[in-house]
Structure 1
Amino acid sequence: MGKTSKDKRDVYYRLAKEEGWRARSAFKLLQIDDEFHIFEGVKNAVDLCAAPGSWSQVLTRKLRNKDDDSPTAKIVAVDLQAMAPLPGVIQIQGDITQLSTAEKIIQHFEGEKADLVVCDGAPDVTGLHDIDEYVQAQLLLAALNITTHVLKEGGVFVAKIFRGRDITLLYSQLRIFFPKVTVAKPTSSRNSSIEAFVVCQNYAPPSGYIPNMSNPLLDHQYCDWNEWEGPNRVIVPFLACGDLSAYDSDMSYPLDTEYKFRPPTQMPINPPYHEAVCIKKQDQLAKPAVDQLTKFESLELKE
């Protein structure tokens, strides 16, 4: 999350701070779930490109904080960089383009596969839209590739996508593996942003398909592309998620609104001032003012 004055006026940025989410993107996954109910019946979930961990926090709240006696879900978070620990989340610091990473995920699931795979990964944008869209498309294909190794049939795949003019091929590639693909735009995602999220349901790989990390997923051997006509061979429905009468993510809201306390989703992890507070309580960092006055009075008597 940014630190500019515009970000501080962003209502979702402030809500994330108040409720203890690590990033405002947590509301995007929550709003997607409100529309598609992607967490129903999920026992194993994978969060790709997980850092800083806001989506893993959502998975923890939705899948592990259950009041019934049903077993809680297993959650695996994967990212190249280290991430602060989360209770109930297994972290793998690895590359999603490596077969060993997929094997580690399945190993943590005790040989089973995942019911849900989510990916909120995005490249460091350059401002050149053509380049950013291409790099994001390749990142999504890498996430899709590892998903074919770890997702069970009938599972759900959710990933960030940049909607550009050449997005039709990417939709076609997703339709090879998922009969139902929808592009979702949560209300917490700024309208000025080209980002959206593909919600791919009912995973059904082509007959005879063998997952392979070296497979670029660009071949068309599993579909008859001549059956589609027109400039858009695959029409993917577009759906706005979230309450449209709620907050506008592109609008700046005043800071002097009445504050309402909300319990944090996660308590602070070993704050840096903790040790200083302990030292101060033990009277090792600063002496009481009474001792200081006694010292000055003794000096005056000596003089």
Structure 2
Amino acid sequence: MGKSSKDKRDLYYRRAKEEGWRARSAFKLLQLNQEFNLFDGITRVVDLCAAPGSWSQVLSRELQGKNAKIVAVDLQPMTPIDGVTTIQADITHPNTLQTILDIFAGEQADFVCSDGAPDVTGLHDLDEYIQAQLILSALQLTTCLLKPGGTFVAKIFRGRDIDLLYSQLSYLFERVICAKPRASRGTSLEAFIVCLGYKPRPGWNPKLDLQTSTEEFFEGADIGKAGNLEHFELPDDEERKIAKFVACGDINDVDSDATYTLELNRLALEPVQMPTAPPYKKALEMKRRGDLIRR
């Protein structure tokens, strides 16, 4: 979590620190669960793109005492969380899939989630495309380890072509809903796709392969492909689908777009978890050695 002036006046940011969450995004998953009861009856969970670990924290606390196995995967290192097995790995690599299945003793997952997002550029079309590719990468792994009837939740950026993704997901899940938690700023394109009731495609055997693109991976599933978005392919007499939009969270809760006055005698709280490998770490080390010289 950052330390900008706006962050300090954001009540979700302050509440996350007070309650011990590593990031304010923890409230997004909590509010999604309030709406969809995502945690009911689940014992094997995978959190993709998990760092810094706020969603894994939520899963650990909510599933405590239920003999659940929780696996968190990210390319970045994560400080350990009680009850969570962390894996520093690429979600597209076959070895990652095998490692997760080994932890689950060969059993399939009940619930897979991803709060991952690329570093945004401000170019909305590019950001939406990269995020869609990240979702498809997460979906590749999900189709290989999620049990029939399982649930998949992922962050999306809503754009003009998002119904293409809704249509593809609707082939793989019984219900597809676009949800906007109250903790997610209304000014942001961010939302979450909630996919309920996984239904494997008949005759399709998904298999991860580093040499296979996401489009090639889903070819055998017959869920339609992007190609040129103006000529999106779907079976005859079937229309592109629009996911139902649902707002999550108590409407009387704080406004994520608002900033609030700081008390004069407020206590400044340090981050719950400092970054383990921040991108600026190398630059700081170079500065200490005197390797950074202004020219």
1:34-73 to structure 2, matched below 5 A, reads: 34-64=34-64, 66=65, 71-73=66-68
* Contact 1:173–1:218, Cα closer than 8 Å, also in 2: no
1:174 matches 2:169: yes
1:55 positional shift = 0.2
Q: Give, in whole Å, the separation in 1 of the partners of 2:54 and 2:48.
A: 12
Alignment partner for residue 147 of structure 1, among 132, 135, 142?
A: 142
Q: Which of 245, 251, 257 pairs up with 2:252?
A: 245
Q: Number of residues paired by the alignment?
A: 256
Aligned to 1:27: 27
Q: What displacement does 1:222 show?
A: 4.9
**Which residue does the alignment assign to 1:297?**
none
The reply to whether residue 111 of structure 1 matches residue 112 of structure 2 is: no
How do 1:187-266 residues align onto structure 2 when only pairs under 5 Å count?
A: 187-213=182-208, 214=212, 215-216=214-215, 219=219, 221-222=222-223, 225-229=235-239, 233-256=240-263
More displaced 10-residue stretch of structure 1: 220-229 or 102-111: 220-229
**8 Å Cα contact 2:167/2:242 also seen in 1:** no
Residue 218 of structure 1: CA displacement?
Answer: 5.3
One-letter code aligned to 1:249: S
Q: Aligned residue for 1:82?
A: 77
Instruction: Identify the residue that residue 10 of structure 1 maps to in structure 2.
Output: 10
Q: Which residue of 1 aligns with 2:283?
A: none
Distance (Å, rounded) in 1 between the aligned partners of 2:164 and 2:273: 43
Q: C-alpha separation between the residues in 1 aligned to 2:147 and 2:264?
A: 46
Q: Which moved more, 1:251-260 or 1:194-203?
A: 251-260
The 5 Å alignment of 1:99-138 reads 99-138=94-133
Moved beyond 6 Å, runs of 4+: 257-260
**SS in structure 2 at match of 1:202:** strand
- Closer/same/farther in 2, CA of residues 102 and 10 from structure 1, 3 Å limit: same
Give the Å deviation of 1:248.
0.5
CA distance in 2, matches of 1:13, 1:246: 14
Q: Identical aligned pairs, as a percentage?
A: 58
Counterpart of 1:18, as a letter, is E
Instruction: State the Cα distance separating 1:243 from its structure 2 match.
Output: 0.4
Q: Are the structure 2 counterparts of residues 251 and 153 from structure 1 closer, same or farther at C-alpha, using a change threshold of 3 Å?
A: same
Greater radius of gyration (CA):
1
Counterpart Cα distance in 1 of 2:183 and 2:223: 37
1:237 maps to amino acid: K
| Aligned counterparts of 1:203 and 1:222: Cα–Cα separation in 2 | 14
Q: Secondary structure at the match of 1:18?
A: helix
How far does the alpha carbon of each residue in 1:123-176 deviate from its partner, in whole angstroms, 9 at most, with x for none? 010110010000000000000000011111110000000000011211111112
Query: Distance between the aligned counterparts of 2:260 and 2:223, measured in 1?
Result: 50
Give 1:209 shift.
1.1
Give, as a single letter, the amino acid of the residue that structure 2 aligns with 1:46. V
- Structure 2 regions of 5+ residues with no counterpart? 225-233, 275-295
User: Taking structure 1 as the reference length, what is the TM-score of the superposition?
Assistant: 0.80
CA shift for structure 1 position 206: 1.0
Mapped pair 1:164 → 2:154: no
Taking only aligned residues, the RMSD between alpha carbons, in angstroms, comes to: 2.1
User: Match for residue 278 of structure 1?
Assistant: none
CA displacement 1:53-79 (0-9 Å, x = unmatched):
000000000112x3xxxx410000000
Which whole-Å deviations, capped at 9, do the CAs of 1:217-259 have from their partners, x for residues lacking one?
5547357532224xxx102100000001211100111222998
**Cα distance in 2 between the residues matched to 1:160 and 1:225:** 27
CA pair 259-225 structure 1, distance change in 2 beyond 3 A: farther
Q: Which residue of 2 aligns with 1:285?
A: none
Q: Which secondary structure does the structure 2 equivalent of 1:106 belong to? A: helix
Contact 2:39/2:62 (CA < 8 Å) preserved in 1? yes
Structure 1 stretch displaced more, 167-176 or 116-125: 167-176
Aligned residue in 2 for 1:275:
none
- Residues 222/268 of structure 1: CA separation in 2 closer, same or farther (3 Å cut): closer
